[in-house]
């Protein structure tokens, strides 16, 4: 399959053309720009070309007696797939649409309602698009348009609908597939995303062109053949029961329903686990794992801007987790979960220096506290992991409120990472089992595994030729698996800062590597079904020592014990919890008064 998009551009649609080009390149599709006249003069590509152009660009070809029907026949001779986008509610575009679709589409109409529902056709399931049969609702004031279908029915396939009317539609004729996108707006993946904003704000102009590109190029795009998922529970101690959580019941349900859970364990509690319960958990390491949840779990402990303090906290957390492992025999993954999602860019640098593999943060808190100096662009949030800060991977997780956002994660090749607290199990374990079943319907072969395994095996692949792949990985330690049924070579790539890498090893053997323009590259070769371990080792960085005051340590201890009283006693009594919440608010108000 060709992996080249021929973009026929013109000054009238330069903004949308450029946005589509960047989006295609981001997904792994090469993009060649040409003018319509150049494309017409070039030898036909045996009908295999994939072409995209705006309706304005297409209309420029209507000179010298050329008609709309001639334009359709021209593309049928030269292209297998054609995207035409950015139609206007004008007589000219109405005639163009009627000619392209044999009258199935009669024109374009603006969407008047600001309450909008975007729906994805179930047929997309056959194209391995996880959004198939899903929808999401939003309120927006942006101008949008949809197609008007002619009366009497047709074979037009609305791939994406807006308020029940086609937004992205597919029309097949004479062996060519015409993809018609009513909107001219295409998301710019280099647009900055404000901390108060969300990737969801970009869905209306992001997902329709992505559906086209994924449909047109399939596996030629960056994709993840080893999809994984994990459910993280933050905070609980390892006791027979913590709040509404019982580990014996949880693991029984996990095994019965095929999911895996990770406990966001607070290192402060390293000497407080019950060994009998820990021993039970050791027997379920295929379904259960530990991650590092802060250090003392104070509100902004990793939102500090003091590099020495951040390194001290990161190292102390690891030391405590190692002590916990010695006491209980429970292993842990060197993956950080920031308390309350608060972090600074310096925190990621500290984690990288002290040997962590990754960070997992809730999607609502993707931005660091110093994001004004270090903003995130849409491309950072869509990538397999955010690597904008010190090339250290930050993965985003979501609360189990709905499956649509998880489907978008799968669309971009990300792991499905979910999070909750013990209170989620107040109504029992069936809500989680039901949500897992809904998630599993999004993609075949979704593997629920411990968090560390999900992240260190995560990569995006695309073919470079027969028996050769590019693979982008994200964590310093990476488990590469060959997705092909034949022996294959791999160009391995990772976002990395120049000058910081000491060496790269494959299965313990050092290999040649380069770091250019922020990308580390090395090579590996595997037989069918084989796997290997890739490790990126960093040069040691001198750090400054730091100590925590007795006052701080007393505050951290009090916070932990009070949190446990809340979770184990107050949370299970609505009246007591309500009273405690009111008292807390009164105390905070008094503290805020001068």
Q: Does residue 52 lie within any of the structural domains? A: yes
Helices within 42-189 (DSSP H only): 55-59, 68-78, 91-100
Whether residue 554 is predicted with pLDDT greater than 80 in this model: the reply is no
End of a domain among 220, 247, 274?
220
Residues 408 and 484 in one domain: no
Residues 298 and 447 in one domain: yes
End of a domain among 455, 476, 511?
455
Burial of 509 (0-12, 13-18, 19+ CB in 10 A): exposed
Q: Between residues 554 and 60, which one has the greater pLDDT?
A: 60
Residue 295 CB partners (closer than 8 Å, separation 6+): 267, 268, 301, 302, 313, 314, 316, 317, 320
CB 358 within 8 A of CB 383: no
Residue 326 CB partners (closer than 8 Å, separation 6+): none
Q: Does residue 441 lie within any of the structural domains? A: yes
Residues 140 and 281 in one domain: no
Residues 424 and 330 in one domain: yes
Q: Does residue 543 lie within any of the structural domains? A: no
Q: Does residue 31 lie within any of the structural domains? A: yes
pLDDT of residue 585: 55
523-543: pLDDT as tens digits: 999 999 999 999 999 998 776
Residue 341 CB partners (closer than 8 Å, separation 6+): 361, 362, 364, 365
Residues 449 and 568 in one domain: no
**Residue for token pair 């080249």:** 4
pLDDT of residue 178: 95
pLDDT of residue 455: 98
Q: Count how many residues are written for the chain.
A: 594
pLDDT of residue 70: 86
197-247: pLDDT as tens digits: 999 999 999 999 999 999 999 989 999 999 999 999 999 999 999 999 999
Does an H or E element contain 462, and which? strand 459-465
Whether residue 45 is predicted with pLDDT greater than 70 in this model: the reply is no
Comparing 249-258, 332-341, 557-566, which segment has the lowest mean pLDDT? 557-566
- For residue 192, the tally of other CB atoms under 10 A from its CB is 12
pLDDT of residue 84: 96
CATH number for position 408? 3.20.20.370
Query: How many domains is the chain built from?
Result: 4
pLDDT of residue 564: 67
Q: Does residue 129 lie within any of the structural domains? A: yes
pTM score: 0.92
Residues 99 and 158 in one domain: yes
**Residue for token pair 């470079």:** 464
Residues 526 and 560 in one domain: no
CATH number for position 197? 3.40.50
Cα separation values, 98 from 88, 95, 199, Å: 13, 5, 35
Residues 362 and 409 in one domain: yes
Q: Which residue from 194, 234, 416 is spatially nearest to 340, judged by alpha carbons?
A: 234
Q: Does residue 545 lie within any of the structural domains? A: no
Whether residue 377 is predicted with pLDDT greater than 60 in this model: the reply is yes
End of a domain among 495, 514, 538?
538
Q: Between residues 558 and 168, which one has the greater pLDDT?
A: 168
pLDDT category at 583 given cuts 50, 70, 90 is low
Q: Does residue 544 lie within any of the structural domains? A: no
pLDDT of residue 60: 82
Q: Which residue from 344, 265, 347, 343 is spatially nearest to 313, judged by alpha carbons?
A: 347
Residue 47 CB partners (closer than 8 Å, separation 6+): 77, 78, 79, 80, 175, 176
301-325: pLDDT as tens digits: 999 999 999 999 999 999 999 999 9
127-141: pLDDT as tens digits: 899 999 999 999 998
Helix %, strand %, coil % for the chain, to 5? 35, 30, 35
pLDDT of residue 227: 97
176-190: pLDDT as tens digits: 999 999 998 999 999
CB 460 within 8 A of CB 413: yes
Comparing 15-24, 47-56, 64-73, 429-438, which segment has the lowest mean pLDDT? 64-73
Rg (CA), the chain: 27
Residues 469 and 582 in one domain: no
pLDDT category at 1 given cuts 50, 70, 90 is very low
Residues 373 and 259 in one domain: yes
Does an H or E element contain 503, and which? strand 501-506
Q: Which residue from 86, 73, 100, 107 is spatially nearest to 171, judged by alpha carbons?
A: 100
Q: What does pLDDT average to over the chain?
A: 91
Domain that holds residue 513: 459-538
CATH number for position 477? 2.60.40
Whether residue 19 is predicted with pLDDT greater than 80 in this model: the reply is yes
Mean pLDDT of 328-345: 96
Residues 83 and 198 in one domain: yes
- For residue 11, the tally of other CB atoms under 10 A from its CB is 8
Residues 30 and 140 in one domain: yes
pLDDT of residue 43: 75
Residue 156 has, within 13 A of its CA and on its CB side, a CA count of 28
Q: Coil, strand or helix: which one is 522?
A: strand
Q: Does residue 17 lie within any of the structural domains? A: yes
First to last CA, the chain: 69
Q: Coil, strand or helix: which one is 112?
A: coil
Does an H or E element contain 118, and which? strand 115-120
- Distance from chain centroid for Cα 205: 17
**Residue for token pair 């539609």:** 169
């Amino acid at each position: 399959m060709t992996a080249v998009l021929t973009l026929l551009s013109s000054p009238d649609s330069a903004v949308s053309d450029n946005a589509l080009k960047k989006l295609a390149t981001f997904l792994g599709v090469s993009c060649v720009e040409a003018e319509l006249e150049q494309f017409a003069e070039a030898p036909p590509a045996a009908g295999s070309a994939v072409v995209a152009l705006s309706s304005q660009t297409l209309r420029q070809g209507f000179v010298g007696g050329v008609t709309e029907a001639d334009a359709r026949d021209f593309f049928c001779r030269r292209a297998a797939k054609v995207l035409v986008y950015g139609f206007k509610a004008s007589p000219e575009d109405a005639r163009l649409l009627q000619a392209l679709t044999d009258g199935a589409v009669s024109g374009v109409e603006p969407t008047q309602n600001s309450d909008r529902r975007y729906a994805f056709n179930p047929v997309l399931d056959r194209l391995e698009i996880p959004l198939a049969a899903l929808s999401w609702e939003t309120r927006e004031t942006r101008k949008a348009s949809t197609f008007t279908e002619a009366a009497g029915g047709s074979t037009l396939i609305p791939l994406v609908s807006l308020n029940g009317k086609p937004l992205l539609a597919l029309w097949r004729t004479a062996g060519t597939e015409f993809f018609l996108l009513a909107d001219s707006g295409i998301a710019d993946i280099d647009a900055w995303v404000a901390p108060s904003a969300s990737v969801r704000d970009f869905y209306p102009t992001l997902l329709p062109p992505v559906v086209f590109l994924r449909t047109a190029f399939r596996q030629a795009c960056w994709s993840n053949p080893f999809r994984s998922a994990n459910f993280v529970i933050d905070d609980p101690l390892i006791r027979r029961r913590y709040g509404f959580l019982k580990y014996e019941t949880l693991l029984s349900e996990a095994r019965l329903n095929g999911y895996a859970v990770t406990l966001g364990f607070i290192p402060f509690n390293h000497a407080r686990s019950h060994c009998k319960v820990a021993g039970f958990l050791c027997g379920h390491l295929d379904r259960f794992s530990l991650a590092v949840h802060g250090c003392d779990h104070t509100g902004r402990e990793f939102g500090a801007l003091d590099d020495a303090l951040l390194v001290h906290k990161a190292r102390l957390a690891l030391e405590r987790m190692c002590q916990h492992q010695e006491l209980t025999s429970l292993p842990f993954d060197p993956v950080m979960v920031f308390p309350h999602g608060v972090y600074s860019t310096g925190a990621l640098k500290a984690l990288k220096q002290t040997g962590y593999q990754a960070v997992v943060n809730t999607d609502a808190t993707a931005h660091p506290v110093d994001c004004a100096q270090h903003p995130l662009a849409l491309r950072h949030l869509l990538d397999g992991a955010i690597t904008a800060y010190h090339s250290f991977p930050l993965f985003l997780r979501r609360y189990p409120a709905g499956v649509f956002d998880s489907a978008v994660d799968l669309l971009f090749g990300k792991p499905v990472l979910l999070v909750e607290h013990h209170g989620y199990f107040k109504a029992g374990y069936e809500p989680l089992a039901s949500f897992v079943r809904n998630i599993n319907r999004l993609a075949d072969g979704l593997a629920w595994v411990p968090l560390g395994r999900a992240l260190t095996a995560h990569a995006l692949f695309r073919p470079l030729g027969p028996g050769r792949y590019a693979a982008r990985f994200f964590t310093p330690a990476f488990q590469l698996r060959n997705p092909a049924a034949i022996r294959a070579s791999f160009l391995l790539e990772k976002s990395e800062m120049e000058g910081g890498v000491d060496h790269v090893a494959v299965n313990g053997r050092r290999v040649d590597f380069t770091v250019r323009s922020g990308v580390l590259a090395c090579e590996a070769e595997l037989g069918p079904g084989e796997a290997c371990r890739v490790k990126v080792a960093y040069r040691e960085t001198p750090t400054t020592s730091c100590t925590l005051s007795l006052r701080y340590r007393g505050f951290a201890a009090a916070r932990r014990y009070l949190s446990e009283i809340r979770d184990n006693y107050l949370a299970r009594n609505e009246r007591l919890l309500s009273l405690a919440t009111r008292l807390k608010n009164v105390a905070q108000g008094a503290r805020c008064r001068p």
